[in-house]
Amino acid sequence: MDGFPSFLAVIGHPIGHTLSPVLHRAAFRALGIDASYTAYDVAFERLPEVVRAMRTLEFRGFNVTIPHKTAVIDLLDECTPTALRMGAVNTVYVSDGKWIGDNTDGAGYLLSLGREHGFAVQGKRAVLLGAGGAAMGVADALLGAGLDALWILNRHRAKAEALARRLAQHYQTNIVTGTIAEWPRERVDLLINATPVGMVGFLEGELPVPPDVFHERMLVSDLVYRPLVTPLLAAADKAGAKTSGGLGMLVGQGALAFERWFGVFPSMDVMLAAAMPELDGSASK
Ligand code: NAP
């Protein structure tokens, strides 16, 4: 380092419940890096002036969350192919003086599946529930890693179809779209919930799928991490399936962002351990 602390941030609106400062500050401490990471609540119309200010103050980079993930693209110098495919940026870093937008959500998801279960995507069949921003990142990463077949099941069929069309511009994999009523007859190896169903304070206690879809060789993954054990994960576990919670993806995308900024891959265990106390008992948060 050059003797000055590095400035980093996450910008979004609302930003109140973000765990990113906790994750990154833990990694700074563990690696002895002199840096600050702050959460800024930035209203949509203030995005350009805030990004300008971060450039002026020579921030090392920043994370971007809802509602700025797409709008920020026009304010940067370049975007990675991943961010361009998704039309969304979650991480901005500086390279040769240029501000580059990247998206580490999908790669972070794959990292967590590999780390927790040694799950190899190649040749597998997956059902993805939801067709929003999180679903896009996960689908892109799974298809890029050689998934054999993907069903996108969404409450509104048209949105699943729009996502499938977008993915089909980049991948040849067979993608089937529908609603939850059209659960595939074929073997499903991986089920991903990319909807907020089951989340604390939203559709708490609800299952996004009928309870008879699980089987013992299925990996069931929920992107929701409040609560840590969602109704979906509890039901899947009871049926003998393997499970994976949303905190792994959050930490994975954060660790990859950290690597873009500092060129060092931080300890995901350190980041996970820092986040846990914030989420334990999150039923009341
Ligand atoms: P989004 O863009 O708003 O998309 C939400 C999706 O959920 C849409 O497909 C929507 O369906 C569906 N949905 C919403 N309410 C529903 C309901 N009552 N029943 C069935 N489907 C419903 O949101 P997002 O950013 O993709 O986030 C989705 C979830 O992933 C959130 O819970 C978020 O917390 C989680 N997430 C986790 C991570 C992580 O790191 N673990 C990262 C990002 C997001 P329609 O199209 O029919 O409206």
> How much distance in Å is there from the Cα of 271 to the middle of ligand 1?
24
Check: CB of residue 112 under 8 Å from CB of residue 141.
no
> How much distance in Å is there from the Cα of 209 to the middle of ligand 1?
14
Residues near 169 by Cβ (< 8 Å), separated by ≥ 6? none
Q: Is 248 in the pocket of ligand 1 (CB under 6 A)?
A: no
> How much distance in Å is there from the Cα of 154 to the middle of ligand 1?
10
User: Can you read off the two tokens belonging to residue 164?
Assistant: 């499938």
* CA nearest to 178, candidates 201, 210, 155, 199: 155
CB neighbours of residue 34 within 10 Å: 11
Q: Is 249 in the pocket of ligand 1 (CB under 6 A)?
A: yes
* CA nearest to 10, candidates 72, 84, 96: 72
User: Can you read off the two tokens belonging to residue 218?
Assistant: 């299925």
For residue 225, give the ligand 1 atom closest to its CA.
41
* Mutate which of 22, 89, 91, 223 for ligand 1 pocket (most atoms within 8 A of beta carbon): 223
Which residues participate in catalysis according to the annotation? 69
In CATH terms, 106-245 corresponds, of 2.30.30.180, 1.10.3720.10, 3.40.50.720, 3.40.630.10, to 3.40.50.720
Sequence ranges of the chain with CATH classification 3.40.50.10860: 7-102+248-280
Sequence ranges of the chain with CATH classification 3.40.50.720: 106-245
State the pTM of this model.
Answer: 0.95
The CATH class of the 7-102+248-280 domain is alpha beta
Residue-level pLDDT, tens digit, the chain, 285 residues: 457 889 999 999 999 889 999 999 999 999 999 999 999 999 999 999 999 999 999 999 999 999 999 999 999 999 999 999 999 999 999 999 999 999 999 999 999 999 999 999 999 999 999 999 999 999 999 999 999 999 999 999 999 999 999 999 999 999 999 999 999 999 999 999 999 999 998 888 899 999 999 999 999 999 999 999 999 999 999 999 999 999 999 999 999 999 999 999 999 999 999 999 998 765 433
